[in-house]
Structure 1
Amino acid sequence: MKLSFIGNQLGKLWDYLSNPELWLAILGGAVRILLIILIAWIVVRIVRKLVDRLFVQRQRGPIQIPKRRENTLKQLIKSVVGYVVYFMAIVMILEVFNFQIGPIIAGAGVAGLAIGFGAQNLVKDIITGFFIIFEDQFSVGDYVLAAGVEGTVEEIGLRTSKIVSWTGELNIVPNGNIDQVINYSSRNGLSVVDVNVPYESDVAEVERIINEVGETLPDKYEFILGVPEIIGVQNLDVSSFVVRVIAETQPELQWAGERNIRKEIQDKLYKSGIKIPAPRIVTYTEDQVDKLSEERQRQRG
Structure 2
Amino acid sequence: MTKTEETISKTQAFYNKFSQKLLDENLWFAIGESVLKIVAILIISGLLIRIGKLAIHNFFRMRTKAPMRVSERRETTLQKLLENILTYVVYFITIMSILSALTINVQAMLAGAGIVGLAVGFGAQSLVKDIITGFFIIFEDQFSVGDYVRIGQFEGTVEEIGLRTTKIKSFTGEINILPNGSIVEVTNFSLYNSVSVLDIGIAYEGDIEYAEKVIQEYLETTTEKYPELVKTPELLGVQQFGASEVVLRIVAETLPMKHWYMGRKLRKDIKLVLDEHGIEIPFPRMVMYSRQEGGAQKEFGK
TM-score, reference length from structure 1: 0.82
Alpha-carbon distance in structure 1 between the residues aligned to 2:152 and 2:120: 26
Deviation digits for residues 40-67 of structure 1 (CA, Å, limit 9, x no counterpart): 2222121111111111111111123433
Pairing of 1:130-149 with structure 2 (within 5 A): 130-149=135-154
* One-letter identity of the residue aligned with 2:218: V
Q: Secondary structure at the match of 2:233?
A: strand
1:26 is aligned to 2:31:
yes
The correspondence for 1:263, drawn from 268, 275, 282, is: 268
Unaligned runs of 5+ in 1: 290-301
Q: Secondary structure at the match of 1:227?
A: coil
Q: State the partner residue of 2:222.
A: 217
Q: Is the 8 A contact 1:51 1:74 kept in 2?
A: yes
* One-letter identity of the residue aligned with 1:140: V
Deviation at 1:256, TM superposition (A): 1.3
Deviation at 1:232, TM superposition (A): 2.5
CA pair 239-57 structure 1, distance change in 2 beyond 3 A:
same
Alpha-carbon distance in structure 2 between the residues aligned to 1:242 and 1:16: 93
Q: Is the 8 A contact 1:147 1:177 kept in 2?
A: no
Instruction: Say what the alpha-carbon RMSD is for the aligned residues.
Output: 2.9
Deviation digits for residues 63-104 of structure 1 (CA, Å, limit 9, x no counterpart): 234333333222221121111112112112222333222332
Deviation at 1:168, TM superposition (A): 2.9
Q: Is the 8 A contact 1:147 1:173 kept in 2?
A: no
Deviation at 1:279, TM superposition (A): 5.0
Q: State the partner residue of 2:59.
A: 54
Alpha-carbon distance in structure 2 between the residues aligned to 1:73 and 1:90: 26
The correspondence for 2:160, drawn from 155, 177, 182, is: 155
The correspondence for 2:81, drawn from 76, 80, 85, is: 76
Deviation at 1:149, TM superposition (A): 1.6
Pairing of 1:122-133 with structure 2 (within 5 A): 122-133=127-138
1:89 is aligned to 2:103:
no
Q: State the partner residue of 1:179.
A: 184
Alpha-carbon distance in structure 2 between the residues aligned to 1:23 and 1:253: 67
Deviation at 1:9, TM superposition (A): 4.1
Q: Is the 8 A contact 2:84 2:162 kept in 1?
A: no
Q: Secondary structure at the match of 1:92?
A: helix
Q: Is the 8 A contact 1:140 1:155 kept in 2?
A: yes
Q: Secondary structure at the match of 2:199?
A: strand
Q: Is the 8 A contact 2:41 2:97 kept in 1?
A: yes
Alpha-carbon distance in structure 2 between the residues aligned to 1:45 and 1:168: 29
Q: State the partner residue of 2:299.
A: none
Higher helix share: 1
The correspondence for 1:166, drawn from 168, 171, 175, is: 171
Alpha-carbon distance in structure 2 between the residues aligned to 1:169 and 1:19: 57
CA pair 10-168 structure 1, distance change in 2 beyond 3 A:
closer
Q: State the partner residue of 1:295.
A: none
Q: State the partner residue of 1:204.
A: 209
Task: Give the paired residue count.
Answer: 289
The correspondence for 1:109, drawn from 104, 107, 114, is: 114
* One-letter identity of the residue aligned with 2:129: K
Deviation at 1:139, TM superposition (A): 2.3
Unaligned runs of 5+ in 2: 297-302
The correspondence for 1:227, drawn from 211, 232, 256, is: 232
Deviation at 1:281, TM superposition (A): 6.8
The correspondence for 2:42, drawn from 37, 44, 59, is: 37
Q: Is the 8 A contact 2:229 2:254 kept in 1?
A: yes
Q: Percent identity?
A: 45
Alpha-carbon distance in structure 1 between the residues aligned to 2:265 and 2:27: 79
Deviation digits for residues 201-253 of structure 1 (CA, Å, limit 9, x no counterpart): 44432321111010121222221222111222222334333221111112111
Alpha-carbon distance in structure 2 between the residues aligned to 1:80 and 1:156: 12
